[in-house]
Chain A
Amino acid sequence: MARLFQTGIFLLLGISSTLGLYFHIGETERKCFIEEIPDETMVIGNYKTQLYDKNTNDFMPSSPHIGMHVEVKDPDNKVILSKVYSSEGRFTFTSHTPGEHSICLYSNSTKWAMFGANNKMRVHLDIEVGEHANDYKQIAEKDKLTELQLRVRQLLDQVEQVQKEQNYQRYREERFRQTSENTNQRVLWWSLGQTVILLVTGFWQMRHLKGFFEAKKLV
């Protein structure tokens, strides 16, 4: 009985403490967030929606009828997750290519007016990336670790994240370097080409006009 209560408190505090930040979204509005992450990184998003109730002039504690459409796109603009979740929940995905992933949220319902809302919905959101997404309580229970072992495990996870980010940094620097080399090449060849075309056009003009005037017997 006491154990149940304990777990209950943990759960309650778990949910309330991770969903601190919120913002407002309109009915047809689409809110997108960008996460630039290395590959093989897990991302967990927790969200909770609340509809505005005209009657009480405040936000209803929960709105079971409104669903949330979550769409995640990878750096090549390919959709890797597109699902409709209930009004409160979490979505997870793991990146397979490094780069900018975009996470878009929008309401799948156009009948807000039916629920007494006037085009305003409150969305609590929390996106955890990489090491922050780990639930150490679960890990401790699964692997039966003491607290010291758990702390060391957390340090190991953090250092792994630092390593992954540095690898990603190398990849990004290479892309930047390639783009700069590309620009250099383009400037070189286009300038050359423009000079050549200018000279060629000039010569052609003079030759053509000379022939034209000679034909007209003006020269």
Chain B
Amino acid sequence: MGTWWLCLVILVAFAAVLDATELTFELPDNAQQCFYEEVEKGQKCTLEFQVVTGGKYDVDVTLSDADDKNVLYKERRKQYDTFTFTPKEKQVYKFCFSNEFSTFAHKVVYFDFMVGDEDLLRGVGAHATALTQLETTCVSIHENIKEVIDYQTHHRLREFTGRVRAEHLSQRVQWWSAGVFIVILIVGIGQVIVLRSFFTEKRPTTGKI
């Protein structure tokens, strides 16, 4: 009998487990990429995204339910944002990233979709009794370190953006400078050749007989 109750408690506990998915993907130009997730009623969801590389670092984002009827969030040309909502019933939500306004800049987009806000120890069920003070302290330290990790992630993404730009700049300087060097040589020699051709004797024209 006890085991059945335990099973029930664990079943209920899993309904409140935190499920966070963070992915970084490449969005080609003129493309759209959609992701779907089924969310239970009453679970607080947060969508956070950041454009990491590409063009002017902007993307169109739309968050709605699966059949596009109820649009919860729609922004154009956003670089970074976070949006929280709580569904009133269990349904599938869809969020799309669109790069259709860009003709040649493909973007790399990072997003983090968090469902639920209770983080139980992964793989271990809920408590049947209240937590002791030590355990509560552990939980709060865990939450704080999670924030640290979140800040680190955002710092890493910003640094990645800057580093990729710096590397592009370095390459661009190299190729453009080499090109200009060669152009100077070609133009210099070409000018002399053209000028010389103005002063070369024309072929003797045959006189009219």
- Chain A residues with CB under 8 Å of chain B are 2-3, 5-6, 9-10, 13-14, 17-18, 20-24, 31-36, 125-127, 132, 134-138, 140, 147-148, 150-152, 154-155, 158-159, 161-162, 165-166, 168-169, 172-173, 175-176, 179-180, 182-183, 186-187, 190-191, 193-194, 197-198, 201-202, 204-205, 208-209, 212-213, 216, 218
CA distance A10 to B122 in the complex (A): 12
| A134 and B122 form a contact (CB under 8 A) | yes
Q: What A residues does B152 contact at CB under 8 A?
A: 162, 165-166, 169
The stretch from B2-10, B56-64, B68-76, B78-86 touching chain A is B2-10
Q: What B residues does A14 contact at CB under 8 A?
A: 123
Q: What B residues does A218 contact at CB under 8 A?
A: 199
Give the residue of A20, A31, A147, A148 whose beta carbon is less than 8 angstroms from that of B21.
Answer: A20
CA distance A141 to B138 in the complex (A): 20
Which B residue's beta carbon lies closest to that of A182?
B170
| A137 and B124 form a contact (CB under 8 A) | yes
| B35 and A22 form a contact (CB under 8 A) | yes
Give the residue of A23, A158, A169, A190 whose beta carbon is less than 8 angstroms from that of B155.
Answer: A169
Which B residue's beta carbon lies closest to that of A131?
B149
CA distance A179 to B167 in the complex (A): 6
Give the residue of B25, B155, B195 whose beta carbon is less than 8 angstroms from that of A209.
Answer: B195
| A186 and B173 form a contact (CB under 8 A) | yes
B102-140 interface mask toward A, CB cutoff 8 Å, 1 = contact, 0 = none? 000000100001010000011110000000101100110
- Chain A CB within 8 A of B196 CB: yes
Interface residues of B, count at CB 8 A: 64
- Chain A CB within 8 A of B185 CB: yes
| B113 and A21 form a contact (CB under 8 A) | yes
| B24 and A216 form a contact (CB under 8 A) | no
Q: What A residues does B24 contact at CB under 8 A?
A: 33-36
Q: What A residues does B7 contact at CB under 8 A?
A: 5-6, 9
| B142 and A6 form a contact (CB under 8 A) | no
| B149 and A158 form a contact (CB under 8 A) | yes
| B124 and A147 form a contact (CB under 8 A) | yes
Tell me the number of A-to-B contacts counted with CB atoms below 8 Å. 170
Instruction: Give chain A nearest CB distance to B202 CB in angstroms.
Output: 14
Q: What B residues does A147 contact at CB under 8 A?
A: 121, 124, 135
CA distance A192 to B61 in the complex (A): 47
Which A residue's beta carbon lies closest to that of B191?
A205
| B124 and A150 form a contact (CB under 8 A) | yes
Q: List 10 A-B contacts (CB under 8 A).
A: A9-B10, A22-B36, A31-B25, A34-B25, A135-B123, A140-B124, A148-B132, A179-B166, A194-B180, A194-B181
Q: What A residues does B209 contact at CB under 8 A?
A: none
Given contacts A13-B14, A33-B25, A36-B24, contact A201 B149 (CB under 8 A): no
Q: What A residues does B184 contact at CB under 8 A?
A: 194, 197-198, 201
Instruction: Give chain A nearest CB distance to B166 CB in angstroms.
Output: 5
- Chain A CB within 8 A of B159 CB: yes
CA distance A20 to B178 in the complex (A): 51
Q: What A residues does B135 contact at CB under 8 A?
A: 147-148, 151
Given contacts A2-B3, A22-B35, contact A162 B145 (CB under 8 A): yes
- Chain A CB within 8 A of B48 CB: no
Q: What A residues does B124 contact at CB under 8 A?
A: 136-137, 140, 147, 150
| B11 and A13 form a contact (CB under 8 A) | yes
CA distance A204 to B34 in the complex (A): 62
Q: What A residues does B115 contact at CB under 8 A?
A: 20
CA distance A32 to B185 in the complex (A): 44
Q: What A residues does B185 contact at CB under 8 A?
A: 197, 201
| A204 and B19 form a contact (CB under 8 A) | no
- Chain A CB within 8 A of B51 CB: no
- Chain A CB within 8 A of B41 CB: no
Query: Which 9 pairs between the two chains have the least Cβ-Cβ distance?
Result: A137-B123, A201-B188, A190-B177, A151-B138, A183-B170, A21-B21, A34-B24, A2-B3, A158-B145
CA distance A138 to B121 in the complex (A): 12
Q: What B residues does A201 contact at CB under 8 A?
A: 184-185, 188-189
